[in-house]
Amino acid sequence: MRKLLSSTIVLAVLITIMLPFGVSAHSGRTDGSGGHNCSAKSVSKGLCSGYHYHNGGGSSSSSSDSSSSSSSSVTKEKVIYNESAPYPYCKKVKDVYQSSDEYYIYYERVWDCTRYTESGSVYTELDLSLYVNDTYQSLQQNFISIKNSSYIYIRDLKKAFDYELEIDDSKNVILKSTDHTIKIYAESRKIYLDGKYTGFNAVKVDGNYYLPFRASVKWAEGKIQSIDNTAVYITN
């Protein structure tokens, strides 16, 4: 009798433990995500409804999405060394890659600071002072050098030798003194002295005419006294 009672109690406990699993369990294969749609039979028994997961299915997808979100790439900021032009006339060539780190990509900007006349010749400015008859003359524009030849701004030449300056209807520029007339033809930029071509052409930079310095002094019947690294001395 005691053995029968014990067996009955054990059986009752087992039934109680297994009952929830029996209610929630139902047949049907799961898909690659660990879930499936309820069968009509399972729905009628109240075991499930619609699509659902088994054994924690679907959690891997959620975990994957979270991991993907947390490991999304950071947009690196572009940093450019030498970003501003050294001089107003410099032109940007390109940005050259230098290095990068976790947050930045570093570039160095290359500038072309070569200066060109309006006809395309390369020139440089000369930091020279001008003295006329040993008197300092302020310059409106610096001397320029093209292929080792110096040029003087036309209005500085006018001042140095007391020329009168005229511009005719054809935009030709004329310098007149008591003894000579220098004419620059706008179309060809050829320089004529007293009606004869000198063999020289004027150059134009930013709309301004420059004349060959040594020849200009000779045309004005002046003389170059000396030239050093800082100044030019002439007489008229």
Neighbours of 173 (CB within 10 A): 20
**Contact indicator for 118, 200 with CB cutoff of 8 Å:** no
Most confident of the ranges 33-37, 38-42, 54-58, 217-221 = 217-221
Using one digit for the tens of pLDDT, what is the confidence trace for 201-231?
A: 999 999 999 999 999 999 999 999 999 999 9
CA angle at 136 for the pair 225 and 235, rounded to the nearest 5°: 30
Helices (H), the chain: 2-24, 40-44, 59-70, 154-160, 213-219
Task: Please list the residue range(s) of the chain that carry CATH number 3.30.457.10.
Answer: 122-235
- Does 169 or 22 have the greater pLDDT score? 169
User: CA torsion 92→128→154→90, rounded to 10°?
Assistant: 0
Q: Which residues contact 164 (CB under 8 A, 6 or more apart)?
A: 158, 175, 176, 177
Instruction: Give residue 74's pLDDT.
Output: 79
C-alpha dihedral sign at 199, 235, 206, 229: positive
Global confidence as pTM:
0.63
- Summarised one tens digit per residue, pLDDT across range 107-131 is 999 999 999 999 999 999 999 999 9
List the CATH code of the domain at 122-235. Answer: 3.30.457.10
Q: Which of 39, 71, 41, 37 is nearest to 51 (CA)?
A: 37
Please tell me which residue, 189 or 4, carries the higher pLDDT value: 189
